[in-house]
Amino acid sequence: MRIVLASASPRRKELINLISDDVLICPAESQEVIPSGIRMEKIPEHLSFVKAFEVSLKYPEEIVIGCDTAVFLGNKILGKPKDEKDAFKMLKSLSGKTHKVISGVTIIKGKRAVSFSEKTKVYFRKLNDAEIEEYIKTKEPMDKAGGYGIQGKGTFFVKKIKGDYFNVVGFPVSKIQKTLKEKYYELNSK
C-alpha cells in the first residue's frame, strides 16, 4: 500500500523512504491557522492533522501522513526565521539554553486517524555572535524551525539531546513506523 506524505520537506521525504519504497509526495496547501484556546504544545499535532486531512480528501484509499515540527523555548514558539536578522535573534535566544522540539504527526486512512506528538529536549552550548553570523551565511537556518538544522552545520551548536534525534530533524521516523505497523498494516519496508 502506498503512503502519501503531506509535506514538501526534503528531510521528511528522505526519512519516509526508510519506511516504504512506495511513497507519493503531496504537500498540503492550506494555511497554518491556529485556533484560539489550543494548548501551545498541541499546535504541531493540530497542524499535522490539518495537513493530513486536506491531503486525505484527495487520496481516500491511501495512508496519508501529515507532520509539523516546532521549537519551544519557554513559553515561546520559534518558527522558521523571516530573515537573517530574525535567524540571529532566534539563535541568540537559544544560546546556552535547553529547548524542546515537538513534532505532531497524524496518520489517516479512510475514516481512521491517529495523531500523536513526539518531544525531544535539545541542549545548546553558549554561542558567540561571530559563529551565529557565520552559520547564517550558509543560508541553512532560513527554512528550519528555530533557525537551525541538527542534521547540518547546526549540529555544532548542540551539546546534547534527550529523546529522538529524528524528531529534531522533523520526522520521528521510529514512532511513525511503529504506529503504522500497529494501527494500519504490516509494512514491506527495506
> Which one from 21, 22, 68, 86 is the annotated catalytic residue?
68
Q: Is 68 a catalytic residue?
A: yes
- CA 168, CA 7: separation in Å to the nearest integer? 16
The number of residues in the chain equals 190
DSSP letters spanning the chain: --EEE----HHHHHHHHHH-S-EEE----S-----TT--GGGHHHHHHHHHHHHHHHH-TTSEEEEEEEEEEETTEEE-S-SSHHHHHHHHHHHTT-EEEEEEEEEEEETTEEEEEEEEEEEEEPP--HHHHHHHHHTTGGGGSGGG--TTTGGGGGEEEEES-HHHHHT--HHHHHHHHHHHT------
For the annotated catalytic residues, the residue numbers are 68
